[in-house]
Amino acid sequence: VAFKAMAEKMRVIVRCKPTKKEKLIHVEKNEFVLQRPKTNLRKQYPFERVVTEQETTPELYKKHLCDLVDHVLRGRSSSVIAFGAGETGKSFTTRGADGLVKSFGRDIFNRLRGDPNSMLSLSVLMSAITAPVQSNMTGRQITHEVLLDGLLPAGDVGDYRGGLHVREHPSKGFFVEGLSEVVIEKEEELEKFVESALTNCSTEDGRRTSGGKGAPLKVHCLFSFKVRRRDANGMVDTAELQIVDLAGYAREKKGGAQVARGGEKSGPVGEDIVLKAFLRITSSLEMNSSHIPFRDSKMTRILSKALGGQALCAVLTHIAMDNYEESEAVLMLATKFGCISFSGRMREGKKGSDAMGKKERIRQLCDQMGISSEGLKSTSICIELEASKELLELRELLAEVEAIGKNQEEWDLVTSCSDRFKAGEGTSQARLDRKVKAQGREEAEWQKAAGRSPAAGRQLCTRENVNGQVTEGHDMAQITSKLAQLRERKALQARR
């Protein structure tokens, strides 16, 4: 598969939220005019793409974002990031009844309908910012980012275990280990899993607004549609469409205090790790810095392809027409976003012979150079400065044949994992992002009276140790007895 490079600027779309209060911001020919109250100070911010208060979400999608479906089907990954202050309609645009998640999913599914060599899968990730906790070393209030699986049922308030982990593959980049991915084969499945994910995100977001002990400070949501297309050679081309709903942005004043909508101070203790990292990345991209801090948060690692120029990125900025300071800060950031340029890769055509032709060519090259082709791998060939063209061609062909096998294995693995998830096996196993639900009081008292620990005699496919790690195939009774022996030894050593 051949790719051609494309250079574009980051697509910035500004949407205005309707208001019944006095308007402090007016739109004149795609230009925002800000009038500071009780003064004659006016500021103008021009943008190419503006969504007025009268336009609906389907109109926004059809006018500014529906072309991303064509980019994804041609093999070019794309991302849509909803950004703005709190209560400006970001969740309504992305997760509403006519939101972008349902629109993108429906259009991609209809375009791939009936194609046996195409696969559409869905995965949902939630990034919860926990309540601040005081550090014993520095005395500062620290917040943590916890990644949750949006396709699995929501748990109780504050039952976060530590969340899913982000890993890095040498060729595929960052990915979330253990995140559920379901293959969409029917329209009913698309509606079912999308509605379930939207409900889980709304539940987690509702706990944030309700407050209470263990409630998250902020919640960011990421919906990912992956399109895999397999050609006659067995090569699988993967493109991803990410829809991100970032939590509300709060401007900062001197001293680091955050000011939320309405002027209410939230203080420096409740800083949002994801938004801080997102703004640092955009500032570094605008200044063409040599270092881009993608690793400052888990969510920005997943978005590194979109923010790093390997995918088409569109930032959907939301502003409130009745708030001057808040909207001015967001419009200034949107202007910075528009100055960022990136280059993506789009599939141009298919080249090369089929897998059988490549294997035959490998045998010919091996016979020509006197090398046995049995068990030969690309990593076993050492390339020197004076290497022949035949040796270089042999190594490239071996790498291509190995890639075909890996792609086919990935295709089968995603399909089998999706089938197990649909059968209910994914929800019955021990989860990595949330704690196991506590047992009832009567059951715990009965086990205590019987002289057994609550976990004794319980066979599990996974088990937990003291550090919250998960390992395969052990009995909890054996683990409990071993831990008791270790505690006795430590107590004996302390007495000595």
Binding-site residues for ATP sit at 84-91
Torsion of CA 386, 392, 398, 399, to 10 degrees: 100
Sign of CA dihedral 57, 59, 62, 63: negative
CA pair distance 187, 105, nearest whole angstrom: 10
Using a 10 angstrom Cβ sphere, with 0-12 exposed, 13-18 middle and 19 or more buried, the burial of residue 123 is: buried
Using a 10 angstrom Cβ sphere, with 0-12 exposed, 13-18 middle and 19 or more buried, the burial of residue 74 is: middle
Structure tokens at 93: 């645009």
Sign of CA dihedral 262, 266, 271, 274: negative
C-alpha 73 chain-centroid distance: 20
Nearest to 182, CA basis, from 219, 220, 152, 147:
152
Nearest to 397, CA basis, from 335, 331, 353, 343:
353
CA separation, residue 84 to residues 13, 132, 260, 285, 344 (Å)? 11, 23, 12, 19, 25
CA pair distance 376, 372, nearest whole angstrom: 7
- The full DSSP string for 155-210 is --TT-B-S--EEEEETTTEEEEET---EEE-SHHHHHHHHHHHHHHHHHHHHHHHH
Collapse the DSSP code of 40 into the 3-class scheme (helix H, G, I; strand E, B; otherwise coil) and give the result.
coil
Q: Binding site membership: which residues?
A: 84-91
CA pair distance 63, 236, nearest whole angstrom: 31
> For 65-186, where are the alpha helices, taking DSSP H only?
67-73, 90-95, 100-112
Which amino acid is located at 216 in the chain? P
Collapse the DSSP code of 330 into the 3-class scheme (helix H, G, I; strand E, B; otherwise coil) and give the result.
helix
User: Are the beta carbons of 157 and 146 closer than 8 angstroms?
Assistant: no
> For 304-424, where are the alpha helices, taking DSSP H only?
304-307, 324-338, 355-369, 389-422
CA pair distance 191, 144, nearest whole angstrom: 33
Torsion of CA 286, 289, 295, 296, to 10 degrees: -70
